[in-house]
Structure 1
């Protein structure tokens, strides 16, 4: 999530009600269980909700090579560092049930203090 979040790690406050009640919107930063490894949590930005058509480039050439419609019950997640992020461009739409919560506030480091969305 560079440059939004620090490479050395940030302390984030995550609220869990939005993901449980379906109140996630495009632009929210969320924490989710990785679809590739359930032992890992990922922090990504919501780019699309169910029914949205997303154009994306699965490689680093910078040209939209394909598009996908986000299926019912899923979201499309991407990291802010598009050249290095492992996200929905690699593992596809993420089931809504894997979302653990919406990042509400960055607490630390202090110079970046504030809401993320």
Structure 2
């Protein structure tokens, strides 16, 4: 009888430890996120399920071209690509990205550009000054400038300005559903 009681106590302890670890992993380290909408096509598709690392930006800062999840409103999170980090001047001219006056390749857009008719462009011309209400010349400290990969169908920094880093949930690291789209997202 004492053996059965000890076995139950050990099972309860093991279950409690597992539950606490699961909560810690979910709250502190990783979060599941579901992509809603076409703004990150073709990189991410509507209804892709992602694992987002919350720890990456606790120990570091977002880097250019990271795919991040951030709080866009109290009730809604967005998934976008970091294009500008603090100190960067961002502009697009003739469908080409310029960071600090230098042309920057965007290989993740090639598939999308190839699917478009020759007369269409993916990204309308803009400068950081034109799209930020404050007229920033460079991305301010503590903020990032984000764009969706589906540039002609994305609500992003061109509409709502720079994103405060304290609104960033984390970095997308892995798609796990649907099964045929399982892959590492990190660029």
Structure 1: gaps spanning 5 or more residues:
none
Q: Which residue of 2 aligns with 1:41?
A: 77
* Structure whose CA Rg is larger: 2
Check whether the contact 1:56–1:67 (CA below 8 A) recurs between aligned residues. no
What is the root-mean-square deviation of aligned Cα atoms in Å?
1.9
Say yes or no: does 1:112 pair with 2:181: yes
Say yes or no: does 1:53 pair with 2:96: no
Partners of 1:42 and 1:105 in 2: CA distance: 16
Partners of 1:110 and 1:13 in 2: CA distance: 14
Q: Which residue of 2 aligns with 1:65?
A: 126
Check whether the contact 1:56–1:89 (CA below 8 A) recurs between aligned residues. no
Partners of 2:146 and 2:128 in 1: CA distance: 14
Partners of 2:152 and 2:75 in 1: CA distance: 24
Partners of 2:45 and 2:177 in 1: CA distance: 10
Q: Does 43-52 or 104-113 show the bigger shift?
A: 104-113
The TM-score normalised by the length of structure 1 is 0.86
The TM-score normalised by the length of structure 2 is 0.55
Q: Give 1:17 shift.
A: 1.1
The structure in which a higher percent of residues are helix is 2
* Superposition misfits of 4+ residues, deviation over 6 angstroms: none
Partners of 1:38 and 1:105 in 2: CA distance: 25
- Among 135, 153, 156, the alignment partner of 1:87 is 156
- Deviations along 1:14-66, one digit per CA (max 9) or x if unpaired, are 111122233321111111000xx221000111111100110147xx8955232
* Residue 32 to residue 12, structure 1, CA distance change in 2 (3 Å): same
Counting matched residue pairs gives 112
Kindly indicate whether structure 1 or structure 2 has the higher relative contact order, using CA contacts under 8 Å at least 6 residues apart: 1
Partners of 1:79 and 1:91 in 2: CA distance: 13
